[in-house]
Chain A
Amino acid sequence: MSGHDGTEPVADDELLYRRIPVSKGWYTQKRLSPEAFDPRPGERTGISLYREKYKPIQEVARGKGRQGYYVAVLRAGDVRKHGIEVVPRPQLDDPGHAEMPDLTCDNRLTQEALERKLRLVELCVRVEGPFPPTTD
């Protein structure tokens, strides 16, 4: 199945968003910490990303973060060139949801995962925000 239901493969030229809670201090003084890409509790099948073609960045930044969010922007082709896969994982309420299955909360402290997190910092195209907290 393909089309706009989120199941089509992530193209190399697609931009991907990773949400970063402001409160954690993972983006300060224009420097991004690898912790921004550390799999969080519950990210068992890969770290969560959002596809730009499905969701504007302001929507991605909506969440329950107490101080709001930054959003790190990556390009799919860049990360693939370094052996980090990106796959679509559409959810019922979010067809633009994607994951990096090589980074999970179960493998987060392996050598490969530690190196991938640092590589993602290098590959980050830009960081946008901070976006203020939302009430919903």
Chain B
Amino acid sequence: MPLTRSSPFISISLRDAVSTSVAMEAPITRDYGRIDKASEEWQILIDYQLIEWGRDPGQLEDDDMQPPSKDTIQQAIWLASALNKAGFAPPTRIVPDAHGGIVFERQEGNLFESIRLSSDGSAEYCFFKNSRLVERERLVLHTAGSE
């Protein structure tokens, strides 16, 4: 696991379900497609957003705000791949911040969580409930380059 601890909000998906022929109607627990869909959403974010940013970070330079560096984008690609591999639900979106960082955001109702990769290489997880910060943690990322 890349993170120091699991998110309380984004729970790991069940990967293996036992299929039987007892119930003829599809039960809600047997949703193999959901896992594939989540993985597909991650892959779309990696392939069509993060890798595109990495090809030309300058496209994110706008309105006097610095774009994320190639290193930060590379770190985001690694993190997205690791979270996907670990079965975490994909973020609602991934955005650059105004200071050269990248933020993974996920929102469901009154719950909001984010992972911020800052331009100095640090990473932080935040979990909010009703706009109140209820958990905040520095993350230690063991990226491919640091192993």
Chain A residues in the interface with B (C-beta under 8 A): 21, 23-26, 28, 31, 33-35, 38-42, 63-67, 105, 108, 111, 114-115, 118-119, 122
Contact = CB atoms under 8 A, between A and B. Distances in A.
B51 interface: no
B28 to A, nearest CB: 26
A21 B95 contact: no
Question: Can you list the 9 inter-chain pairs with the closest CB atoms, starting with the nearest?
Answer: A118-B131, A40-B98, A23-B62, A119-B131, A21-B63, A25-B95, A21-B62, A65-B63, A66-B62
Does more than half of chain B's interface fall in helix, strand or loop, or is it mixed? strand
A41 B133 contact: no
Contacts of A64: 63-64
Contact of A25 (B63, B64, B93, B133): B93
A24 B65 contact: yes
B64 A40 contact: yes
7 contacts: A21-B65, A23-B60, A24-B62, A31-B92, A33-B105, A42-B64, A65-B62
A28 B62 contact: no
Specify which of A42, A63, A115, A118 lies most central, judged by the most chain B CB atoms within 10 Å of its CB.
A118
B78 interface: no
B80 interface: no
B60 to A, nearest CB: 7
